[in-house]
Amino acid sequence: MILFSAGNKIQSVINLLPSGKLQQCQRSTSLSVRSFHKAYLERVTVIGGGHMGSGIAQISAAAGNFVTVADVNENALSKSRQRMEQRLVRFSKKLLKDDAEKIHKQVETVLSKIQFTTDIKNAVKQCDLVVEAIPEDIELKHKLFETIDKVAHEATIFVTNTSSIPVHELAQALSSKRKEQFAGTHFFEPVTVKLLEVVRIPETREEVFHKVMEWGRFIGKVPVVCKDSPGFIVNRLNIPYLINAVSMFERGDASYQDIDVAMKLGAGYPYGPFELADYVGLDVIYMILIGWERRFADVERFKCPNTIKEMYKQGRFGKKCGQGFYSY
C-alpha cells in the first residue's frame, strides 16, 4: 500500500473534488496536518459489495480513502466493480462533458484506490474503519461481527449500514471493548444522496462518535444524529407514508400512477410514493417491514401490505431489476 504524507494526501483529496465541492470544502473545512492525523479514518473496508456497499466504497475512494471491498465470491466482487464503474462514468460525463480521455482518467483514479477481496478476515486486519453493508438479516450480521471482531485491530471502528435493525441489537455480537467503537451509519439509495444518519449506542465512546461524524463530512455527507429508534428518522416517516399509499391502492381508492401524480403536484414531493419505492427497492422495504412486524406485532402501521409481499416473492424489486410498480 502506498502511504502519502498528510499534506499530499489532503491535496489529492481536493484534486478529486468538483469545483463547487472544492469551494464548499475551502469555506467550511480547514484541514491541518495535526487534525488530519488525529481524526482521519484513512483505510476503509466495506463488507458487502451490493448496491449500497459498492456505492459507499465508491464515494469513500473518490474522497480519498483507501478502500477494500470484501464479499463472499469473485462473481459478487465483479458485479460490485461493474456498478462502480458505470456510476463513475455517468458522474464523470456530467462533470467533464464528452472528454473521453479525462473521463477515463477520472474513473481510473477512483478505482485505483479500491481493492477487492473474498478474504474478509484479512480485509479487516489493518483498516481504520469497517463498514458493514450486507443484507438485512440479523443472524447473518451477528455471525459476521463475531468473526471480524476477533481479527480486527483493537482500534478499528465498526459501523453498520442497517436501515431497520436496532443498532444495539447488532452490537450484542460484539465484545464489550468493540461496542465502544461501534455505531450506525445509514446511507441512502442512491448513495450520492447527501444525507447520512448516524446512530450511537450507549457504549459508543465520544471520540469514536466524533470520528464517524467527521468521516461522514469528509466523504461529502451531511450527517444527522438520531437515537436508536425504529427506522431512525427518514424511514420512520417514509415507510408508514408508503404503507398508507399502498393501502389506498389496494382498496381501489386510486391507481398508483394517480397517487404518485397527486403527491408530486399537490404536496410538492419530487417522487410519488410508488416511484420512491421502486427507487429504494421493494426488497429493502420488505425487509424493513418484516423486521418491524417481528418487533412490533401489535402496531398496525408497521404491517407489511400484501402487495409488497407478493412483489417481493415475484422478484419485482424496482428499478434495480427493471420491474417494480413501473417498468424500467
**CA pair distance 105, 140, nearest whole angstrom:** 38
What interhelical angle do 282-295 and 234-251 show, nearest 10? 100
Phi, psi (degrees; rounded to nearest 5) at 161: -95, 20
Choosing from 197, 206, 210, 327, the catalytic residue is 197
Residue pair 276/242 in contact by the 8 Å Cβ criterion: yes
Residue 74 falls in the annotated catalytic set: no
Choosing from 42, 92, 235, 275, the catalytic residue is 235
Neighbours of 215 (CB within 10 A): 27
Run of H or E residues at 158: strand 157-160
Residue 37 falls in the annotated catalytic set: no
Q: Is 232 left (phi over 0), alpha (psi -120 to 50) or beta?
A: left
Choosing from 186, 207, 210, 306, the catalytic residue is 186
User: What's 301's DSSP letter?
Assistant: G
User: What's 64's DSSP letter?
Assistant: T
Residue pair 113/61 in contact by the 8 Å Cβ criterion: yes
Residue 235 falls in the annotated catalytic set: yes
Q: Amino acid identity of 160?
A: T
Residue 15 falls in the annotated catalytic set: no
Strand runs (DSSP E) across 8-71, as ranges? 43-47, 66-70
- Cell numbers placing 93: 460525463
Question: β-strands 43-47, 222-226: how paired?
Answer: unpaired
**CA pair distance 252, 149, nearest whole angstrom:** 50
**CA pair distance 240, 262, nearest whole angstrom:** 18
Choosing from 60, 65, 163, 164, the catalytic residue is 163
Which residues are known catalytic residues? 163, 186, 197, 235
